[in-house]
A and B are shown apart, each in its own frame.
Chain A
Amino acid sequence: MSETGRNPIDFPMALLAELTHRCPLQCPYCSNPVELEQAGRELDTGTWLRVIEEAAELGALQIHFSGGEPTVRKDLEEMVARARDVGLYSNLITAGVLLDEDRVGRLVDSGLDHVQLSFQDSEATGAERIGGYPDAQKKKLRFAGWVRAAGLPLTLNLVVHRQNLDHLPQLIELAVELGAQRAEIAHVQYYGWAFRNRAALMPTREQLERATATVEEARERLKGRLVLDYVVPDYYARRPKSCMGGWGRRFLNVSPAGKVLPCHAAETITGLRFDSVTERSLADIWQHSEAFEIYRGTDWMPEPCRSCERREIDWGGCRCQAFAITGEAGATDPACALSPFHDQLVALAEADSGADCRDFVYRRFANVVRRNTPMPAK
């Protein structure tokens, strides 16, 4: 049996519904744009319900309710129920600190299929410093219990970086103890908030090598009990990751205000114009919007990507990373050793990993900046 990711399909696989940028946590590596959307600009319930229907008609199979913290929206149950009615597999991506047991029950009754719960660290002090939210750990542990008691499958989302990587074995153990079926261990991706915080987050090469060995050992030991997904960072690699499975190939992201993006970080690329679900249908945007067309497939690629034998494997890597490092979203991803900026990326990673910096710029409205200024190219 094959996963569909290995066979090209002209339909999107999944809709990432970013219902809001409001969140009680303030993780310094948040994937939201550094210009956060205010609550007053969020789409209303009716528009979201229409977007959910349009996504199913377009051929999407799954919907991820995300944010910000999606449970701040009181109408989440209504959206989950609509996703069920139109046959979308629904996934709630949450910090788990705002719900009580009744609300978990209501979400289950509405047809929720799966929960992804974040943990910032294995022990409370570190976790609550990273997330900037007191008492989070206790609430998360309680929430995980309610999810499991309700019979819902649980995945732990573990974003790892220099300040929690040494606790990776304990984080994996936590997933086992909580009865999770899966844990997704993802190294921080450096754009948006994480780009601002890279000196406090970037792991050392040694940490990375240890983490990879830990995951490999745990995979073998926990085979058939816990599935471990591991998103390997590519700044110390020789070839880029297949970001989003290729631009405009598998995912649609709808922002809180209704902008349709090929990936959740796409707004970090200044100069791209994104269409809104308030003006065009989802299908029209998926098929024709300029922001989707511009880096879809392989025609846009410069050399050495264009003639590379891996062009339909990694689809040119990450456009946001290319923009953040080179100032050109259409440039070869600097994670690739063939990019003229590769040495600069590695040097930056090594310098940041050795930085004597533990303090974060927390992700909060007070720290919002107007523009994510790309790093100078030289």
Chain B
Amino acid sequence: MAGRITISEESVPRLPPGVKLRHDKARDQWLVQAPERVFVPDPIALEVIRRCNGEASVGAIVDDLAKTFQAPREVILGDVTEMLQDLADKAVMTA
């Protein structure tokens, strides 16, 4: 049994098996489907989760977001790390 996942700038996050990001037609909304749970990502969370493809590191994701949204990198790094750690603790993200 693995220990708790700690998200750092070097982590390479991805959705674990059984967790899916998909667009729901009926609600016209992006949803994260997990065992017996459905999460509605806000627009920022959606931008982050979409980039969690098991290839890009947190650092690379933050670089991309900083460029795309013209925002300070260190603020984004703090927010993204915190968000991903929270998701990992809820078992909807792994790294």
Q: Which residues of A contact B (CB under 8 A)?
A: 1-4, 7, 9, 11, 13, 58-59, 61-62, 64, 87, 89, 91, 113-114, 116, 151-153, 155, 176-177, 179, 181-182, 184, 223-225, 227, 229
CB within 8 Å for A227 and B90 given contacts A1-B45, A153-B18: yes
Check B3–A151 contact: CB distance below 8 A. Answer: no
CA A155 to CA B6, docked complex, whole Å: 22
Cβ–Cβ < 8 Å partners of A177 in chain B: 1
Task: Name B91's contact: one of A89, A181, A184 (CB within 8 Å).
Answer: A181
Cβ–Cβ < 8 Å partners of A116 in chain B: 35-36
Cβ–Cβ < 8 Å partners of A179 in chain B: 1
CA A184 to CA B24, docked complex, whole Å: 27
- For residue B26, CB closer than 8 A to chain A, the reply is yes
- For residue B41, CB closer than 8 A to chain A, the reply is yes
Cβ–Cβ < 8 Å partners of B33 in chain A: 61-62, 89, 113
- For residue B71, CB closer than 8 A to chain A, the reply is no
Task: Name B16's contact: one of A11, A153, A176, A229 (CB within 8 Å).
Answer: A153
Identify the closest chain A residue to B46 (Cβ).
Answer: A1
- For residue B89, CB closer than 8 A to chain A, the reply is yes
Given contacts A3-B38, A91-B36, A225-B1, 12 further A-B contacts (CB under 8 A): A1-B40, A3-B39, A11-B26, A59-B24, A62-B36, A62-B38, A152-B17, A153-B35, A176-B1, A181-B91, A224-B88, A227-B91
CA A76 to CA B20, docked complex, whole Å: 22
Check B20–A4 contact: CB distance below 8 A. Answer: no
Report B59 CB to chain A, min CB distance, Å: 21
Check B35–A1 contact: CB distance below 8 A. Answer: no
Cβ–Cβ < 8 Å partners of B31 in chain A: 4, 61
Cβ–Cβ < 8 Å partners of A181 in chain B: 16, 18, 35, 91
Check A13–B2 contact: CB distance below 8 A. Answer: no
Check A155–B89 contact: CB distance below 8 A. Answer: no
CB within 8 Å for A87 and B22 given contacts A9-B27, A114-B35, A227-B91: yes
CB within 8 Å for A155 and B36 given contacts A224-B89, A225-B1: yes
Check B27–A155 contact: CB distance below 8 A. Answer: no
CA A59 to CA B38, docked complex, whole Å: 13
Report B68 CB to chain A, min CB distance, Å: 20
Task: Name A152's contact: one of B18, B26, B89 (CB within 8 Å).
Answer: B18
CB within 8 Å for A4 and B4 given contacts A11-B27, A61-B31, A89-B33: no
CA A62 to CA B40, docked complex, whole Å: 14
CB within 8 Å for A13 and B35 given contacts A182-B91, A225-B2: no
Report A251 CB to chain B, min CB distance, Å: 11
Report A227 CB to chain B, min CB distance, Å: 5
Q: Could you list 13 examples of A-B contacts with CB < 8 Å? A: A1-B39, A2-B40, A3-B37, A9-B27, A58-B26, A59-B27, A87-B22, A89-B20, A89-B33, A113-B35, A182-B91, A224-B88, A227-B90
Task: Name B42's contact: one of A1, A62, A153, A184 (CB within 8 Å).
Answer: A1
Report B83 CB to chain A, min CB distance, Å: 8
CB within 8 Å for A4 and B39 given contacts A176-B1, A225-B1, A227-B91: yes
- Residue of A9, A62, A181 ringed by the most chain B CB atoms within 10 A: A181
